[in-house]
């Protein structure tokens, strides 16, 4: 897979910038309705200001809102109709990150201290709960009544299920690849699928078409998680904003790791022995683990599966009979998230 090439003069960067220009004002307007202290934490987490309230240039990519807006156009509608969908999925994404950082004990995100580190565990959890409530309110603004709300809440339930399994894997010595894929489908794919489905509904898609947009997003979501897991092992910390090898040092059972552990290879067995030992893993040991994952085929499998999921995603998109004048943006976004470096 290679980075998305421009269609004419338009690139994936342009698509994301256009989405941010539309979504961020609406997102900020929603956050501005919150009590001052809650607003402070939410805005810090979104990257809009520092902990003391000083403004800063936001660094969020708005990937999920961009998919919602582009899906609305591809379904034959206008992107303005999908603004509540874009805001809703971004709020759910922020909710999940706030809670994940607490559960995983992560100290940094996007090159800054995580919200719980600065404001406290309880405050971070409460703000996450507030964002989830706001997301549901945004879903109520979309056409389809309770149906669109169920699309969003269904994705949230899957997201929580995926996180449940991810946490459960920490205490299990053996995890199957199918279980790990299920976790990825919940943690990452469900929300991206909902973004595409809600956008398509806002754009006037039929129920059948909207379901195909959902599957387009879900396949992309798994590919996205595969790339994220690869970056967690081999990514440049200056680009990812996470310490090199932190996932391996924590013995996280990500998709490439589980593929290696279940490979039946000598390298995979050696990896399982190291993962099963109760010892701190220094930088040299972590580098050795990365080599074992590569030798056991985990890295190659993850790349191949990401490519397969991308192909499946495009097949689902094509089956939804999208507006060809708008579908190029979805293809640019899809290629971008499966070939990123951070």
**Buried-exposed string 212-237: b where 16+ CB fall within 10 A, e elsewhere:** bbbbbbbbbbbbbbbbbbbbbbebee
- Segment holding 113, helix H or strand E: strand 112-113
CATH number given to 12-337: 1.10.600.10
Secondary structure tally for the chain: helices H, strands E: 17, 2
Q: What is the pLDDT of residues 64-122, one digit of tens each?
A: 999 999 999 999 999 999 999 999 999 999 999 999 999 989 898 888 999 999 999 99
pLDDT at site 244: 67
Q: Got the DSSP string for 144-179?
A: TTHHHHHHHHHHHHHHHHHHHHHHHHTT-S---HHH
Q: Looking up tokens 């056991």, which residue turns up?
A: 296
Residues sharing a CB contact under 8 Å with residue 61, sequence separation 6 or more, in sequence order: 16
| Whole-model pTM over 0.75 | yes
Nearest residue to 274 via CA among 253, 255, 303, 256 = 253
Q: Does the pLDDT at position 6 exceed 50?
A: no
Both tokens of 204, joined, read: 């006037």
CB contact at 8 A, 226 and 255: yes
Residues 337, 335: Cα–Cα separation, whole Å: 6
Q: Which of 35-39, 41-45, 97-101, 235-239 has the lowest mean pLDDT?
A: 235-239
Q: Does the pLDDT at position 153 exceed 80?
A: yes
Percent of the chain at pLDDT exceeding 90: 80
CB contact at 8 A, 216 and 331: no
Both tokens of 200, joined, read: 């398509």
Q: Does the pLDDT at position 173 exceed 50?
A: yes
Q: Does the pLDDT at position 7 exceed 70?
A: no
Q: Where are the domains of the chain?
A: 12-337
> How many CB atoms within 10 Å of residue 279?
7
DSSP3 helix / strand / coil % (the chain, rounded to 5): 70, 0, 25
Q: Looking up tokens 């807006």, which residue turns up?
A: 69
- C-alpha separations of 310 from 27, 179, 221 in Å: 29, 20, 9
Residues 84, 86: Cα–Cα separation, whole Å: 5
């Amino acid at each position: 897979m290679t980075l998305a090439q421009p269609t004419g003069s338009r690139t994936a960067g342009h698509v994301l910038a256009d989405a941010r220009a539309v979504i961020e004002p609406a997102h900020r307007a929603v956050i501005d309705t919150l009590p001052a202290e809650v607003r402070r934490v939410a805005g810090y987490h979104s990257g809009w200001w520092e902990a003391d309230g000083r403004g800063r240039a936001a660094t969020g990519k708005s990937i999920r809102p961009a998919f919602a807006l582009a899906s609305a156009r591809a379904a034959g509608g206008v992107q303005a109709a999908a603004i509540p969908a874009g805001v809703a999925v971004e709020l759910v994404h922020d909710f999940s990150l706030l809670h994940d950082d607490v559960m995983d004990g992560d100290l940094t995100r996007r090159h800054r201290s995580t919200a719980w580190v600065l404001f406290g565990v309880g405050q971070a959890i409460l703000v996450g709960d507030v964002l989830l409530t706001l997301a549901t309110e945004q879903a109520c603004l979309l056409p389809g009544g309770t149906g669109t709300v169920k699309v969003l809440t269904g994705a949230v339930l899957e997201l929580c299920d995926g996180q449940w399994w991810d946490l459960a894997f920490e205490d299990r010595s053996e995890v199957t690849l199918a279980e790990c894929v299920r976790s990825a489908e919940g943690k990452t794919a469900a929300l991206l699928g909902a973004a595409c489905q809600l956008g398509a509904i806002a754009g006037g898609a039929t129920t059948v078409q909207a379901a195909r947009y959902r599957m387009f997003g879900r396949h992309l979501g798994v590919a996205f998680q595969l790339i994220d897991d690869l970056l967690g092992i081999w990514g440049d910390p200056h680009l990812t904003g996470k310490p090199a090898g932190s996932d391996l040092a924590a013995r996280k059972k990500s998709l490439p790791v589980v593929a290696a552990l279940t490979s039946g290879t000598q390298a995979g067995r050696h990896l399982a022995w190291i993962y099963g030992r109760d010892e701190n893993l220094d930088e040299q040991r972590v580098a050795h683990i990365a080599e074992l994952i590569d030798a056991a085929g985990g890295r190659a499998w993850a790349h191949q599966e990401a490519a397969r999921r991308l192909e499946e995603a495009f097949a689902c998109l094509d089956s939804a009979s999208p507006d060809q004048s708008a579908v190029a943006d979805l293809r640019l976004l899809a290629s971008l998230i499966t070939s990123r470096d951070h």
